[in-house]
């Protein structure tokens, strides 16, 4: 049995031992994956320009479990871009790929100063490539590697632009579902940008629907409890924002472990209060983080606008 969230082989059971995703819905008699389709001509989906000669990968600038990010040159404009190449071959039929593409085109409309712009997608040698704005700077994950934890004002100053970015995407009916420190960039000129509003989650939606699997896209530590069951709404991203805020302020994850144990901790709200780890965190900020990390969806802030306003009020009390 293969987990459709982390793609590792897992034993029979209700949850993946590695990432905690629900796997019991996988049918053992499921038909094998279809053979790879004919190569889809490399095409920039947004305007149908050929991409084979237009984009040249120059150097690797990042690597994750599912993808590699390259600095690239657009020979048509001379501009530098970032291109993310997914490691897995695309093995869906053309009809299924068309469905994914229609989902992806939703992301292309996002135009916000705090969102890394996605320009388009194409397929080369059976692998998906995502064309993005190149942001020179560092991720929050890299910042935490250097500093371990941030001051309350520093963390709030990062999360407020995140609230504006995700609030804007929610207004466009796009839920991020994978908000985490490595998906938040701080440019060299200090602009906070959220990234990875991309095809990975859209592709998994299609794969999940074809295999009768719940879609559990996300990173387990930061995922809301309902995400482990393939369910999500706008408060799902608020939960992840709370987990990121917790880590920025304490230097630690709110939860540990994996699989069913991780899910159990979330159901019981079994995290250490952040000011027990870092006494410099004010009580009103602790209370807000606890609301964000609530197992009960209705107890979380109702929107990112509400979360942003609460953070601004807390920041004012810290500064006065």
**Token reading at 103:** 């989902």
Cα distances from 289 to residues 14, 201, 219, 269, in angstroms, run 30, 26, 19, 12
What does pLDDT average to over the chain?
80
- Say if residue 36's pLDDT is above 70: no
Position 211 scores a pLDDT of: 43
Residues in the chain, total = 320
Task: Give the pTM.
Answer: 0.77
Q: Which of 98, 178, 198, 215 is catalytic?
A: 178
Look at residue 255 and give its three-state secondary structure.
coil
Task: Evaluate whether 51-133 and 137-200+213-319 have a shared fold.
Answer: no
Q: Which two tokens stand for residue 98?
A: 């068309």
Token reading at 242: 């709370």
Class of domain 51-133: alpha beta
pLDDT at 258: 79
> What residue segments make up the domains of the chain, in order of their start?
51-133, 137-200+213-319
User: The dihedral of CA 166, 169, 170, 174: what is its sign?
Assistant: negative
In the chain the first and final C-alpha atoms are separated, in Å, by 57
Residues 149-177: tens digit of each pLDDT = 999 999 999 999 999 999 999 999 889 98
User: Which architecture characterizes domain 137-200+213-319 according to CATH?
Assistant: Orthogonal Bundle (1.10)
**β pairing state of 55-63 and 80-89:** unpaired
Do residues 75 and 53 lie in contact, with contact meaning Cβ atoms separated by under 8 Å? Answer: yes
Q: Would you list the DSSP string of 18-52?
A: TT--B-TT--TTPPPPPPPPPPPPPB-TTT--B-T
Determine which of 11-25, 80-94, 146-160, 215-229 has the lowest per-residue pLDDT on average.
Answer: 11-25
State yes or no: pLDDT of 296 exceeds 80. Answer: yes
What are the pLDDT digits (tens) for 38-76?
344 344 444 445 666 789 999 999 887 778 999 999 999
| 17 classed as catalytic | no
pLDDT at 73: 95
């Amino acid at each position: 049995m293969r987990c459709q969230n982390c793609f590792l082989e897992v034993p029979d059971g209700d949850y993946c031992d590695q990432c905690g995703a629900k796997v019991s819905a996988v049918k053992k008699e499921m038909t094998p994956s279809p053979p790879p389709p004919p190569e889809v001509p490399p095409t920039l989906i947004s305007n149908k320009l050929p991409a084979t000669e237009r984009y040249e990968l120059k150097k690797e600038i990042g690597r994750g479990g599912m993808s590699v990010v390259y600095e690239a040159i657009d020979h048509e404009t001379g501009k530098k871009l970032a291109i993310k190449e997914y490691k897995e071959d695309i093995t869906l039929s053309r009809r299924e790929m068309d469905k994914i593409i229609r989902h992806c085109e939703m992301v292309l409309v996002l135009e916000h100063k705090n969102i890394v712009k996605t320009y388009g997608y194409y397929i080369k040698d059976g692998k998906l490539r995502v064309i993005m704005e190149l942001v020179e700077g560092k991720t929050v994950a890299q910042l935490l590697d250097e500093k371990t934890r941030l001051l309350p004002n520093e963390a709030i100053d990062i999360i407020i632009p995140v609230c504006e970015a995700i609030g804007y995407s929610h207004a466009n009916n796009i839920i991020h579902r994978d908000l985490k420190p490595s998906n938040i960039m701080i440019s060299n000129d200090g602009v906070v940008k959220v990234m990875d509003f991309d095809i990975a989650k859209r592709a998994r939606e299609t794969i999940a629907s074809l295999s009768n699997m719940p879609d559990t896209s996300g990173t387990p530590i930061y995922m809301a409890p309902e995400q482990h069951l393939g369910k999500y709404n706008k408060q799902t991203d608020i939960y992840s924002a709370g987990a990121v805020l917790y880590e920025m302020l304490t230097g630690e994850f709110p939860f540990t472990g994996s699989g069913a144990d991780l899910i159990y901790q979330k159901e019981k709200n079994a995290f250490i209060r952040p000011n027990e780890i870092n006494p410099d965190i004010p009580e009103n900020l602790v209370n807000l983080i606890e609301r964000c990390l609530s197992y009960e969806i209705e107890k979380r802030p109702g929107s990112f606008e509400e979360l942003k306003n609460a953070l601004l009020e807390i920041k004012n009390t810290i500064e006065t």
